[in-house]
């Protein structure tokens, strides 16, 4: 077997791509560079803007692939992962101008659309790059029940639903992947609204789903715990700049995390090279997760001595 990442002839679905600035886009691009055909799911309120960016060539530079060629999405589908089926969405959502002409934007709707167009099985890779916490700026003590449950629904349960509905559409040896964050394991002040709880649930679900999907279909399920990155979505946290600065000063490898590094790690996990890896959370954060105290603590001790 060649040791290069080869996904030629594979089809991937990346749920949660709405621009060229986040991990979802970087993963889609890395999968394409490895030879996969890529479909994406986009939140309906952002879909028109994303389609306009593509149509007008505003992100052409980001679409350029290493070695030549351009990232072209085989299909872009509307996806609001808070809804398993269309009838779960309240009337005010279904009738909203950004939703009503988009057809079935639920997880089941996306799965049905792909099955109708490509048959079944039709996928080899499914990536969950979705997270939302409406009260992310609130401390946990001030988070409402509805805000907490909303974060869990959009950021964690959506992965369970995605695996459940896309599992039957995956070819033998399929690979599922989700994106987590160190707040699942440790306290990150300012990352509130139940989002830390949702990430912890996401990592726990990854392990359980690895067992269940592995036994039921033979698919693998893994997570990447990425370091902080100033995507447009992460900017909503408010403290992302300070988080990145702290990370860069204290990680073993002192340099900012690049989205491409997460993309390449994802391509590896979704490739045959990782055929024995499942139920794992891989940290892609320049080693920051290994640190127990600030890096300059040792320097201060030496100076005092």
Of the residues 181, 229, 247, 288, only one is catalytic, namely 181
For the question of residue 247 being annotated catalytic, the response is no
Q: Which residues contact 235 (CB under 8 A, 6 or more apart)?
A: none
Q: Is the peptide bond before 267 cis (omega within 30 degrees of 0)?
A: no
Torsion, Cα of 63, 247, 240, 80 (10° steps): 50
Residue 227 phi/psi, 5-degree rounding, is -70, 170
Of the residues 148, 157, 191, 229, only one is catalytic, namely 191
For the question of residue 148 being annotated catalytic, the response is no
Contact between 153 and 82 under an 8 Å Cβ cutoff? The reply is: yes
CA 54 to chain centroid, in Å, comes to 21
Q: Look at residue 6 and give its three-state secondary structure.
A: coil
Cα-Cα-Cα-Cα dihedral sign, residues 24, 109, 222, 146: positive
- Catalytic residue numbers, as ranges: 181, 191
């Amino acid at each position: 077997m060649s040791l290069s990442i080869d996904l030629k002839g594979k089809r991937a679905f990346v749920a949660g791509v709405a621009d060229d600035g986040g991990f979802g886009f970087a993963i889609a691009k890395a999968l394409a560079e490895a030879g996969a055909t890529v479909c994406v799911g986009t939140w309906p309120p952002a879909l028109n803007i994303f389609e306009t960016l593509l149509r007008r060539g505003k992100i052409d530079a980001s679409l350029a692939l290493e070695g030549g060629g351009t990232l072209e999405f085989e299909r872009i589908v509307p996806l609001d992962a808070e809804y398993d089926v269309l009838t779960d969405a309240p009337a005010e959502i279904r009738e909203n101008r950004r939703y009503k002409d988009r057809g079935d934007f639920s997880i089941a709707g996306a799965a049905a659309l792909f099955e109708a167009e490509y048959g079944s099985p039709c996928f080899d890779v499914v990536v969950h790059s979705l997270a939302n916490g409406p009260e992310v700026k609130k401390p946990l003590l001030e988070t409402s029940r509805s805000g907490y449950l909303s974060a869990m629904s959009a950021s964690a349960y959506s992965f369970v639903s995605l695996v459940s509905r896309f599992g039957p559409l995956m070819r033998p040896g399929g690979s599922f992947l989700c994106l987590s964050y160190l707040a699942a394991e440790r306290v990150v002040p300012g990352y509130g609204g139940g989002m830390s709880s949702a990430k912890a649930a996401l990592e726990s679900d990854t392990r359980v789903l690895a067992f269940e999907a592995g036994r039921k279909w033979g698919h693998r399920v893994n997570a990447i715990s990425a370091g902080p990155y100033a995507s447009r979505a992460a900017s909503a946290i408010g403290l992302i700049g300070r988080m990145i600065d702290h990370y860069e000063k204290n990680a073993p490898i002192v340099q900012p995390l690049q989205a491409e590094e997460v993309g390449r790690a994802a391509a590896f996990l979704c490739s045959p090279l990782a055929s024995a890896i499942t139920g794992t959370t891989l940290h892609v954060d320049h080693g920051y997760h290994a640190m127990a105290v600030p890096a300059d603590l040792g320097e201060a001790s030496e100076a005092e001595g």
